[in-house]
Structures are given as structure tokens and as C-alpha cells.
Amino acid sequence: MTAEWNPSSWRERPAQQQPVWPDESATDAVLKTLNGYPPLVFAGESRNLLSELGRVAQGEAFLLQAGDCAESFDAFNATSIRERLKLILQMAVVLTYSAGVPVVKVGRIAGQYAKPRSSNTELVDGVELPSFRGHIVNDPAPTASARIPDPNRLIDAYHRSASTLNLLRAFTKGGFADMNRVHAWNQEFVASSAEGARYEALAGQIDRALRFMAACGIDTTSVPRLHEVDFYTSHEALVLGYEEALTRQDSLTGDWYDCSAHMVWIGERTRGLDDAHIEFFRGIHNPIGCKVGPTATVEEVLGLCEALNPERVPGRLTLISRMGADKVRDHLPPILGAVRDAGHPVVWACDPMHGNTFTSQGGRKTRHFDAILDEIRGFFEAHAGVGTWPGGVHVELTSDDVTECLGGAERLGDSDLGLRYETICDPRLNGRQSLDLAFEVAELLRR
């Protein structure tokens, strides 16, 4: 690594997974416009998240990072934002109350618009088309013209991220996330299910605890912690031109921050040590993540730690393990031990989704709920064996009653997938499966 860094120094490196924009000058004009727009987040907020993640790295808190695989420009409305937030708040309450650990809440939201793809083309109904790369790049409609990257989408993604973030701030600071409203976060279709009933029971206990505190003379109305939550945004910072345009120098510290989100992460396909993403990420001061898949070697992971967090700041780097249920128990422990022995205070999070994707008999991309839970169990076992802290989970979900992942309490089978398969990229847990997962994780944490 060269010592010199600036927001565009990544341009000297090979950049994987970048859109091939048809008109370079039009793209440059868009990036220049974006560079003049206000930042979406304030650097001080990213520093707060860094310190919260520092507590996770020390084993004193747990990270819940969750949201859509690929946010859709078509699902850009208040209901969709509110329902996703409600579900994440519900999961966080389950984890906090059942396991008794503080939960750091980070959404894959307000900017999760770019998708890496394993192939440049994909087959849609027998026709080979350029791959859909997320709504920030192109349109998923199955025509060649829809798939042409359009730089105006970068501006569109910025505005949609800003509005989403605005509503999230309003909800989380304006009374919606008040502990006295825990019952109201339960959605109708979930409330009638076993998981929903389990949640209702837990919410009832929280009510009683709040009444108990009030009866003891504790003025709960004056405790801000009970009435608002800190909720942070994150996405895969894939399209580097966009991220560079939103990277700003903090006036308080002089440090550079990628102000497109509080936290950004590097995907499994773009974590090459000499590549552009590592170069960009090493210079920004946000808390950052990096996916670690089954092909990662101990040397590679140590290289990532050294490149991305040479000063060993706790909470700066979250390693997101996504090994697959069948590999996590073998592959993860040596990496956990080596990272610990090298003195790197990372947050370890488990993404139990991306290593467990397969094509169903009916031809749909899916994941089985059992494999997802099994990977999480394997992740906890690996940490227990090595003596490290299983710091968090990273999941793809939607609050909607979709049928994209198999299994769960509803025992969704192959033939159910067609009922409501709505994702524009990977299969997501639905509301019930997500809540179920939160109870399972809480159980593992308690042990």
C-alpha cells in the first residue's frame, strides 16, 4: 500500500464490479453534481457508531445488521420504510430483553442499491442479458435497453437515500421507537402467528418492567434511552465513483468520511488486497465491514486487518463471516484464532445468508431457514471453541409476508416459493422467519 491516500486514489487500482457507463462525460458530470450535494450523514454520527462497535469488539454488546438484499426504487414509500424499521426494532428488543445485551442497530437501508454479480450476463426466460446491478445502475426489466447503466440513477439513489434517512431519523427520534410502543411494532400477519404471540408475551413483560420502574418512583419519562433509539445506516460501497463523490473531509477532525452512510462494507467479490475497494476503504474513517467467504485464507484475512485497521482501533473493522452452514465449523476457527493472536480487535458478525444460496427445483434462487440457523449455530460454536465473542448477525430480510426462503415455522416448500417471490436480487427472510431467527439468536447468546 502506498502511504498517500485521497478520495480518488482507488482509481489507480483494478476496480472489480464497476458499471460500464455508456457515456463517460455524462457520468463525470453527475459525479460532479453529487460532489456538490450535502453529505447524507454527519461524521460525528459515524464516530458514535464506531464507539458502539468498539463495545461489540470488546464483547460488551451485539450487532444486528439487517435489511434488504437490494433496496428497490419501486418500494420507495413510507410504509416500506416503516415496516422494515419496525421489524428490526422488534428483533433488537427480542435480543436485548431475552439475552440481556445492548444491541447496536444498523440497517441495510437508505443506500443499499448496488449489487455485485458473479457474471456479466444473466439468462432471463432463455434470453441472455447484461446482469442487473442494482437500481443505482440499471433497471431489472428483461430488455437489453433497460440493462444499460444510466448515471442519472446515481442522483436518484442519493435523493431516495436522503428521504429514507430522513424518515428513519423522524421515526427513531420522534416517538415511534418509544419503549412504550413495543406492542405496536408487531405486524398483523405476524401477530397471529406463534412467533408473534411469543413477541407479544415479551412485550407484555417489558410493559410490566416499565410500570414497575414507575411504581418505584423512577421517572421513566425523563430517560431518553427509553423513548428513542440510535439507528444507523449501511450499504455495500460498491460503485466507487458514487462513494468518492460523497466522501468529505470532516471540519472537526480533518479526517475523511464516506458520508453516504454511517457504515459501509466491502463485498466478497471486491476484497482483493491490491484492488480499488481496499484502497478506497483504508482512507475513510467510518466504521467499515468486509465480507469473509469460504475461500478466504488466514493470510488474506490478516492482510485485510492490517490494510484496513493498522492502528487496531476497536470497532473500526467488522469482519462479516459468510462461510455456508457446511463450512463454518471448519473454516472459521483458524481465522478467529489468527486474528485474535495478531491483536486485531475486530467485530465478528455472521452473515448466514450468502453462503447458503441454491437454486430450487422450480428454478428460483432460495435459502433454507434450517441452513441459515445452522450457520449461526456453527458461528457461535466456532467462537466458543476459540474463546472469541460472536459479535453479531448480518441478515437479509423484509417485513413483508414473502415466500423467498424455504422452511421456517410456516414450513415453506418448493411449491410455495411462487406465491410471493418479490425480491429483485437474493431471497430474504420474511417477517415471521426474521422474528424466529431473533429468538433463536437470543437463545444462543443466553447460553
Among 147, 277, 291, 367, contact with ligand PEP (rule: CB under 6 A): 291
**Which of 419, 324, 318, 323 has the alpha carbon at shortest distance from 108?**
318
Give me the sign of the Cα torsion angle 201, 205, 207, 208: positive
Applying CB under 6 A, the site for ligand PEP has a residue count of 9
Counting contacts by CB under 6 A, is residue 41 touching ligand PEP? Answer: no
Answer for the pair 437, 373: CB distance below 8 angstroms, yes or no: yes
426 near Co ion (CB under 5 A):
yes
Check if the beta carbon of residue 366 is closer than 8 Å to that of residue 360. Answer: yes
Is 69 one of the binding residues for Co ion (CB under 5 A)?
Answer: yes
335 and 354 Cβ atoms separated by less than 8 Å:
no
Q: Does 235 bind ligand PEP (CB under 6 A)?
A: no
Task: For the CB of residue 265, give the shortest distance to ligand PEP in the complex, in Å.
Answer: 8
Stretch that binds Co ion, among 68-76, 169-177, 224-232, 400-408 (CB under 5 A): 68-76
* CA–CA distance, 92 with 435 (Å, rounded to integer): 10
Rounded to an integer, what is the distance from CA 54 to the centroid of its chain? 18
Q: Where are the alpha helices (DSSP H) in 40-101?
A: 43-57, 78-99
Closest CA to 391 of 332, 311, 341: 332
- Judged by CB under 6 A, the chain residues 298 through 327 that form the site for ligand PEP are 322
Q: Which does 277 bind (CB under 5 to 8 A by kind): Co ion, ligand PEP, none?
A: none
Could you give the string, one character per residue 342-361, with x where binding to ligand PEP holds by CB under 6 A and - elsewhere?
------------x-------
| Choices 157-165, 178-186, 334-342, 426-434; region in contact with Co ion by CB under 5 A | 426-434
| Cβ distance to Co ion smaller for residue 309 or 356 | 356
Q: How far is the CB of 393 from Co ion (least distance, A)?
A: 14
331 binds ligand PEP (CB under 6 A): no
Nearer to ligand PEP, 84 or 322 (CB): 322
For residue 447, give the nearest of 349, 367, 381, 403 by alpha carbon.
Answer: 381
Say which entry of ligand PEP, Co ion, none residue 322 contacts (CB below 5 to 8 A, set by partner kind).
Answer: ligand PEP
Q: Mark the segment that binds ligand PEP (CB under 6 A) among 128-136, 261-269, 329-337, 428-436.
A: 261-269
C-alpha to C-alpha distance for 28 and 111, rounded to whole angstroms: 20
In whole angstroms, the minimum distance from the beta carbon of 275 to ligand PEP comes to 14
- What burial letters (b/e) apply to 158-193, b meaning 16+ CB within 10 Å? bebbeebbebbeebbeeebbebeebeebbbeebeeb
State the minimum distance, in angstroms, from the CB of residue 158 to Co ion. Answer: 22
What does the binding site for ligand PEP look like in residue numbers (CB under 6 A)?
A: 69, 116, 236, 267-269, 291, 322, 354
| Site for Co ion, rule CB under 5 A | 69, 426
